Amino acid sequence: MMYILAAGAQLVRLVRPTIRSTNDTHAFTEHPRLVALWALLLIGVIPAVLALLVHTHAVLRSAPDGLKLTARLRRIARTTYSITPTAWDYIAFKRGECFVRIRLSDGEYVGGWADERAFAGGYPEQRDIFVASQWALDSRGRFLHKIEGTLGFYVAVTDSVLVEWLDSPPAQAEEISDPSETRENK
């Protein structure tokens, strides 16, 4: 509707056949560059400019009071939008070579060393995590030692499950310099 209001006469001239002797032709074949220019304008340029105006308005309106003009203009070029659907999908796939501690919905803890064999699943499926190197944890979630003979553990991560990624296990396991070592191997 807006296109008809803005450029109705030009659009009608492009579509309406022109009569030359006995041949009926359209402006599409007579003026392909003009038609392409109008198509680019109507399909690409105008929607892009409108999107930029709406984005600019939203960014400037949400900017804190007292922010300098240059800082406001920098905000227009920057966006916090991410194609990653959830925070879990963003961080779970980036983490590796660290300890993982998981508090289950019943308050019990499980954990281990997440290396290249670990896997986290996410959107569009339910969140879950597999850790191949399992460690024993006490009732307060403190790492005790690596569990020998286990091939790993799997946890479906629901809203009532807490997952923590740690650089190293808390103080009680600091004497283990290599996560693949256990207390028995020292």
Range of the domain at 109: 87-185
Instruction: Say if residue 49 is in the same domain as residue 98.
Output: no
Q: Coil, helix or strand for 77?
A: helix
Instruction: Say if residue 43 is in the same domain as residue 102.
Output: no
Q: How confident is the model at residue 123 (pLDDT cuts 50, 70, 90)?
A: confident
E strand intervals along 79-138: 98-103, 109-114, 119-121, 128-131, 133-137
The secondary structure of 156-177 as a DSSP string is E--TT-EEEEESS--GGGTT-S
Instruction: Say if residue 15 is in the same domain as residue 60.
Output: yes
Instruction: Say if residue 144 is in the same domain as residue 55.
Output: no
162-179 tens-digit pLDDT: 999 888 765 554 444 445
- The residue out of 50, 77, 104 marking a domain boundary is 77
- The residue out of 30, 51, 77 marking a domain boundary is 77
Q: What is the pLDDT of residue 176?
A: 47
What domain count does the chain have? 2
Residue 134, amino acid: Q
Residue 122, amino acid: G
Place of tokens 């629901």: 158
- The residue out of 42, 77, 112 marking a domain boundary is 77
Model-level pTM greater than 0.85? no
Q: What is the pLDDT of residue 83?
A: 67
Cis peptide bond N-terminal to 17, omega within 30: no
Q: Is residue 179 part of a domain?
A: yes
Instruction: Say if residue 33 is in the same domain as residue 105.
Output: no
Q: Is residue 178 part of a domain?
A: yes
Give 185 or 64, the one with higher predicted confidence. 64
Structure tokens at 108: 């019990």
Instruction: Say if residue 92 is in the same domain as residue 172.
Output: yes
Query: CA quadruple 27, 30, 31, 32: dihedral positive or negative?
Result: positive
Compute the average pLDDT of residues 133-161.
92
Instruction: Say if residue 112 is in the same domain as residue 152.
Output: yes
